[in-house]
Structure 1
Amino acid sequence: MYYVAHRLFAAHDRALAARLADRLGRKLGVDQVFLPFCDTDEEDLVADLKGQRLFELDRDRLRRIRALIAIVHGPSPDDGVCMEIGYAAALGAPVILLTTDFQDYSTAIHGPRTVFPDPLLDILATRIIRFPRLGTPTELPGGSRFADFAARNHTQTEHALDACVDAALQLPARPPATPAPSRDADTVFTEPSPYAPPHNGLPGLPPNTVSTIRRPTRFEAAAPLTAARHDWAAALRSTRIVVDASGPETPPGAAILIGAACATGQPVAMYLPRSTYTHAAGREPNHRNLMIQYSAVALRTPSEVTTWIKA
């Protein structure tokens, strides 16, 4: 089963994901492709807690996938998609990332660049499909400059979709699911929010809360990809993970780690001192993306963080 992950709350993203799923289905068979929200049929789904039921259906599919193909673009990647990437990667499933963003990112003006704003995405990708600039200009007889510009982008998108399908077809046979790594006793990995000043916005933990507190190093490292691999391994080896989910949406790294913990049964919590609730017809209010809300415990105060870590 090939799982196509995409941002739900924008029609152009839904349409792009559907076109990708359709092309995959024509090559692999439609029963071999899963498109969330299309195949869970949100509008006709009946459940007391519809958001939770959608989460459960998508999570169950993630456990059985052949590969994940995710649409990830812009400086604020969708947190639900990032959760799905972390989930798949933690289980050893190949991850193909399609981005329409031709920018690179760095934490210093002359520092090393990464394809994505959080280098965890770079290191978890089996393959990245992207283009380094706008599409090649085309000439349309009688077309306006706006139609010409639309054609440039349409052509580039078509090439990207073809490249995703080719990459999926070229994947080697998937090895058995990756077993969860052994955990180091009495350790906690704390992931701050890049949106909370200073950079480490997670509340400080009192002495003797836990034997070892691990923190990420990739945002200040001279070699961010190497540091990202270290952060990923350190998080998965920790007894617990606590992330700062502050921001307009859960930060990419926090969402990735929540997904990984959900996949492997690792206790994970998010520090969320302030919620922004989202509302959709027929669905219960969500204080985060539903893939995040139902994967992690929400902690509202520093004392709750301390209590959860010591539990």
Structure 2
Amino acid sequence: MSPLTRARRLAAGEAPVYVATRLYDPSGRYLGARLECGCLRGLRAGLEGLGLEGRDPLTFLPFRDSNSALQGVPTEEFSRAIYDLDRDHIERGFALLAPLGDLQADSGIAFEVGYAAGVGTPAVLLWLNFFVLRYDGTEETLLAPPLLSRLAARSENLGAFDLSLRFDGREDYLRRVAAALDEAEAAVAELCRELVLRPHHPPPLPAVAPAPGRVHLEFGGGQFETQRCWAARLQAELERAGFAVSVSRRYEGAGPLLERAAADLNAAAASELVVTLADGPDVDGETAALQGYARGLGRKVLLYSSGRRRIYTGPEYDHRHNLMLLYSADRTVRRLDEVVPAVRALLG
């Protein structure tokens, strides 16, 4: 599709920009709404520069727009309907804006970044950290975790809040926090104007078909010893069962992390089924992104989640993890010894 055709679909309200939003945190919803304001200004300015007049909706804001569209859906089907609606908007969106921050990237947003890359929608990472990441062994300095960086069409750091500043009391501190949000909103406006005038493109997809019976293990890329131990055990068990197995190892071995992250994505794309590890306070952001990428490419997904905690709001939301992770998986297992039988069942 040509850039002008894409811009015309945006202007007609057929391809709104998906502004990803943290689901559980009210501050995340506030931030998403603020960034959407900047996004709208920028989109309208960009369309005007092309001689086009934008017609609503130019943006899609999850939680607000999903819930509003699904009034009357039966309780037991509500969260599944949200997943389907959000996924549809990512697939046809002009772009995806992903506000991320903190040391644990939000798993739902990370999944959406990966899914966008898999279906060909450019994802823009908006980081709100005052810090960057450095990695032992390579001494690389990265704005975002390597796998997320590889999936994005563009990364921007909006985290201009400087911890070294001295503040003159409560009012000065509050004023500076508000000013930082104003600056972030303005930066998003300029970025979205540029997206319309000079479209970005998702990373090129691997030109490889999945090998029948091949399984890829995404247990965090080997950053922690427990991940490496569990992945090694499952690899041995799956190979004894006759499956060809690859393992994400971006944090092991030598070479630039971004290159190793690309190798993990290529290995997942070359597999018929991807097994992801969901254990932890939240699903690791890179693992969630790889799961989204695999699902976007049409690969099967097996989610391993041994946790006992449930996230409960009532019958409409009673889950162990973000609904994007749960509903995108073909099957979820609770114990390591269930993985091999589940792989057999999924791959026939």
TM-score (norm 1): 0.87
> Does 2:114 align with 1:80?
no
TM-superposed CA distance for 1:40, in Å, is 1.3
Structure 1: distance between partners of 2:35 and 2:160: 21
Q: Tell me the residue number matched to 2:97.
A: 69
Given that residues 134 and 152 in structure 1 are in contact (C-alpha distance below 8 angstroms), is that contact kept between their aligned partners in structure 2? no
Structure 1: distance between partners of 2:215 and 2:201: 31
- Structure 2 matches for 1:224-303, cutoff 5 A? 224-281=257-314, 283-296=316-329, 297-303=331-337
Structure 2 counterpart SS, 1:62: helix
> Does 2:215 align with 1:188?
yes
Q: Comparing 213-222 with 73-82, which one deviates more in the overlay?
A: 213-222
Aligned residues: 309
Which of 194, 197, 212 is the matching residue for 2:244?
212
- Structure 2 matches for 1:109-258, cutoff 5 A? 111-116=139-144, 118-131=145-158, 133-134=160-161, 144-172=171-199, 181-193=208-220, 197-200=225-228, 201-202=230-231, 203-204=233-234, 205-206=236-237, 207-220=239-252, 221-258=254-291
Given that residues 126 and 156 in structure 2 are in contact (C-alpha distance below 8 angstroms), is that contact kept between their aligned partners in structure 1? yes
TM-score (norm 2): 0.79
Q: Deviations over 1:267-298 (max 9, x none)?
A: 11111112421112552301110011111121
Q: Deviations over 1:125-156 (max 9, x none)?
A: 11111146525999x99994323432442343
TM-superposed CA distance for 1:188, in Å, is 1.1
Given that residues 84 and 259 in structure 1 are in contact (C-alpha distance below 8 angstroms), is that contact kept between their aligned partners in structure 2? yes
TM-superposed CA distance for 1:107, in Å, is 3.2
Q: Comparing 55-64 with 206-215, which one deviates more in the overlay?
A: 206-215
Structure 1: distance between partners of 2:186 and 2:18: 20
Structure 1: distance between partners of 2:64 and 2:298: 27
**Unaligned segments of structure 2, at least 5 residues:** 1-14, 45-53
**Identity between Structure 1 and Structure 2 (%):** 27
Structure 1: distance between partners of 2:196 and 2:256: 32
**Unaligned segments of structure 1, at least 5 residues:** none
Q: CA RMSD in A?
A: 3.1
Residue type at the aligned position of 1:65 = G
- Structure ranking higher in helix proportion: 2
Q: Deviations over 1:40-86 (max 9, x none)?
A: 12684532322111111111222212211111111101111111111
Structure 1 counterpart SS, 2:318: coil
Residue type at the aligned position of 2:180 = N
Decide whether aligned partners of structure 1 residues 242 and 137 sit closer, same or farther in structure 2, where only a CA change above 3 A counts.
Answer: closer
Which of 46, 59, 63 is the matching residue for 1:37?
63
Decide whether aligned partners of structure 1 residues 132 and 24 sit closer, same or farther in structure 2, where only a CA change above 3 A counts.
Answer: closer
Structure 1: distance between partners of 2:103 and 2:72: 33
Q: Comparing 287-296 with 154-163, which one deviates more in the overlay?
A: 154-163
Which of 338, 343, 348 is the matching residue for 1:304?
338
Residue type at the aligned position of 1:24 = C
Structure 1 counterpart SS, 2:64: coil
> Does 2:135 align with 1:101?
no
Given that residues 40 and 189 in structure 2 are in contact (C-alpha distance below 8 angstroms), is that contact kept between their aligned partners in structure 1? no
